[in-house]
């Protein structure tokens, strides 16, 4: 079997595409739902901080 660069490039493309599909299936699986819901609530669970970076938390 002769393996040229076009065949190798096609094989690599197929492997990356299948890896991408597997990653999507893993991320959207029902087992990950709790993790993603917790991550979605994270910005709302954190205490409000001063966007200016003032350590005291008060206004200047």
DSSP letter string over 3-55?
A: --HHHHHHHHHHHHHHHHHHHHHHHTSGGGHHHHHHHHHHHHHSPP--TT--T
Confidence at residue 58, expressed as pLDDT on a 0 to 100 scale: 52
Structure tokens at 24: 């999507």
Confidence at residue 60, expressed as pLDDT on a 0 to 100 scale: 54
Percent helix, strand and coil across the chain, each to the nearest 5: 65, 0, 35
Reported pTM = 0.56
Structure confidence by residue, pLDDT tens digits, 20-43: 999 999 988 888 888 889 988 988
């Amino acid at each position: 079997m002769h393996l040229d660069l076009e065949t190798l490039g096609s094989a690599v493309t197929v492997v990356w595409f299948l890896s991408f599909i597997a990653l999507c299936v893993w991320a959207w699986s029902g087992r990950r739902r709790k993790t993603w819901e917790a991550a979605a609530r994270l910005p709302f669970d954190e205490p409000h901080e001063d966007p200016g970076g003032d350590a005291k938390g008060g206004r200047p």
